[in-house]
């Protein structure tokens, strides 16, 4: 194989490692380069034996569907795929004789209909309980064995194929995890926003987008959360800055010297007159990457008391030993009501409410409304008591 052709194949292989849709093009190029008539790349679980095709060339979808559901059990190589040395190119007749192939059910029912007989290939990678196998094929009629020179040509490509499959495997794992997290976040009742180390929005879930689209106290402007009141916007950005400071490993004290703990909570007023949004700002440990600063560094959680099921007072009572009246007061204060509003709603005196609020702060280990909001949000999210 000419050097320029080999370099072109290597480039295509790495492209496929980053974009799985390119694997069929890689196999097509390998088929042509090795004068084959078909090629396949599949993933096999060597614990269960189940096989899954990643890509194939000049084979029908039905053929691979049949292989994945039945014929992998009859494949004369699959009972012991590890007989092939990892990272080594092989020639099929070195491992299974032509006579044994011709006697097998696998040949008559699968290989012959698909015009497969001679092969060269490799087991380039075993990752966990998964192995990856490449095969380039020729038919029995009109075909011939692959040569030693062709095995050596394939051997020069195997290290690059191995690395590209490692990239593919890790991307696939990361994609599955990300999609699972995003799907789970879609079912939450609170908005979630993540920001990078520069305070720019990276992602929000559908609830967060709906809150911003409603423009009732919070909007998104140029990638930043903005409150309807300028002083609340300033406070929000200060909390994000403090959370960034903490996420960068600089402790929990505010860089502004205000003494506020980074990763705090606040209320956001709403022009509609509905109860205030409750915001919790929390640092994340991902931070700034060495090559890409677009990593999540801060998360902002937004709860809408008008749409979020209210935390049962019994849970607060059980966790902190609050009386029923104290637990109800804690939820009302955390929801943005001042004592005068609560007095009017509950027909309790201001003196009674002040005494009860003092007890709430003492029992919950909080000293101000924002800390109480944070505590309530944490219990809503985790179903238990946050550390104090």
**Are 170 and 195 found together in one domain?**
no
**Are 84 and 126 found together in one domain?**
yes
DSSP secondary-structure letter at 253?
B
342 and 332 Cβ atoms separated by less than 8 Å = yes
**Are 40 and 141 found together in one domain?**
yes
- Cα dihedral 372, 243, 189, 222 sign: positive
**Are 165 and 45 found together in one domain?**
yes
Packing angle, helices 369-382 and 313-320, rounded to 10:
100
Report which of 269, 342, 277 is spatially closest to residue 304, judged by C-alpha positions: 277
Report which of 216, 262, 219, 213 is spatially closest to residue 239, judged by C-alpha positions: 262
pLDDT in tens, 193-219: 999 888 888 888 888 999 999 999 999
- The distance between the two most distant Cα atoms of the chain, rounded to a whole number of Å, is 99
**Are 298 and 232 found together in one domain?**
yes
Instruction: Report residue 161's pLDDT band, with 50, 70 and 90 as the boundaries.
Output: very high
Whether this model's pTM surpasses 0.85: no
At 204, which CATH number? 3.30.450.20
At 151, which CATH number? 3.30.450.40
Residue 80's domain spans which residues?
Answer: 3-180
Domain termination residue (choose one: 180, 202, 228): 180
In-domain check, residue 387: no
**Are 140 and 194 found together in one domain?**
no
pLDDT in tens, 268-280: 999 998 988 988 8
Report which of 219, 374, 194 is spatially closest to residue 299, judged by C-alpha positions: 194
Instruction: Please give the mean pLDDT across all residues of the chain.
Output: 83
**Are 149 and 293 found together in one domain?**
no
Cα radius of gyration rounded to whole Å, the chain: 31
- Report the run of H or E that residue 98 belongs to, with start and end: helix 98-102
**306 CB neighbour count, 10 Å cutoff:** 13
**Are 246 and 164 found together in one domain?**
no
In-domain check, residue 388: no
Packing angle, helices 339-346 and 324-334, rounded to 10:
130
**Are 22 and 121 found together in one domain?**
yes
Domain termination residue (choose one: 303, 335, 354): 303
Instruction: Report residue 80's pLDDT band, with 50, 70 and 90 as the boundaries.
Output: low
At 363, which CATH number? 1.10.10.10
204 and 195 Cβ atoms separated by less than 8 Å = no
pLDDT at 247 exceeding the cut of 80: no
Instruction: Report residue 127's pLDDT band, with 50, 70 and 90 as the boundaries.
Output: confident
**Are 217 and 327 found together in one domain?**
no
Strands 191-195, 201-204: pairing is: antiparallel
**Are 237 and 281 found together in one domain?**
yes
Residue 30 burial (CB < 10 Å; 0-12/13-18/19+)? buried
Token representation of residue 285: 């440990």
**Are 163 and 286 found together in one domain?**
no
Under the phi-then-psi rule, with left for phi > 0, alpha for psi from -120 to 50, and beta for the rest, what region is 249?
left
């Amino acid at each position: 194989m000419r050097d320029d052709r080999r370099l072109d194949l290597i480039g295509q292989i790495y492209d496929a490692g980053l974009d799985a849709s390119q694997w069929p093009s890689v196999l097509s190029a390998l088929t042509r380069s090795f004068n084959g008539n078909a090629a396949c790349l599949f993933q096999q679980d060597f614990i269960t034996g189940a096989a899954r095709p990643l890509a194939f060339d000049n084979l029908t979808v039905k053929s691979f569907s049949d292989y994945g559901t039945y014929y992998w059990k009859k494949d004369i190589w699959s009972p012991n795929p590890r007989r092939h040395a990892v990272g080594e190119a092989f020639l099929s007749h070195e491992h299974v004789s032509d006579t044994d192939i011709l006697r097998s059910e696998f040949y008559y029912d699968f290989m012959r209909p698909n015009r497969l007989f001679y092969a060269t290939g490799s087991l380039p990678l075993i990752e966990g309980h998964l192995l990856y196998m490449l095969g380039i094929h020729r038919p029995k009629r009109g075909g011939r064995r692959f040569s030693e020179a062709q095995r050596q040509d394939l051997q020069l490509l195997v290290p690059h194929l191995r690395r590209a499959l490692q990239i593919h495997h890790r991307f696939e794992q990361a994609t599955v995890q990300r999609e699972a997290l995003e799907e789970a976040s879609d079912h939450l009742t609170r908005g979630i926003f993540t920001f990078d180390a520069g305070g720019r929005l990276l992602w929000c879930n559908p609830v967060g987008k709906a809150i911003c689209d409603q423009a009732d106290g919070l909007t998104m402007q140029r990638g930043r959360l903005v409150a309807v009141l300028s002083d609340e916007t300033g406070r929000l950005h200060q909390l994000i800055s403090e959370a960034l400071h903490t996420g960068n490993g600089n402790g929990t004290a505010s860089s502004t010297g205000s003494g506020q703990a980074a990763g705090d909570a606040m209320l956001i007023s709403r022009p509609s007159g509905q109860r205030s949004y409750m915001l919790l700002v929390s640092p994340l440990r991902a931070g700034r990457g060495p090559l890409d600063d677009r990593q999540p560094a801060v998360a902002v959680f937004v709860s809408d008391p008008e749409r979020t099921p209210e935390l049962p007072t019994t849970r607060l009572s059980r966790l902190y030993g609050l009386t029923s009246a104290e637990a109800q007061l804690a939820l009302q204060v955390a929801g943005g009501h001042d004592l005068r509003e609560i007095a009017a709603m509950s027909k309790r005196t201001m003196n009674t409410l002040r005494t009860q609020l003092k007890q709430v702060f003492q029992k919950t280990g909080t000293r101000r409304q924002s800390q109480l909001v944070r505590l309530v949000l944490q219990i809503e999210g985790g179903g238990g008591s946050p550390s104090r």
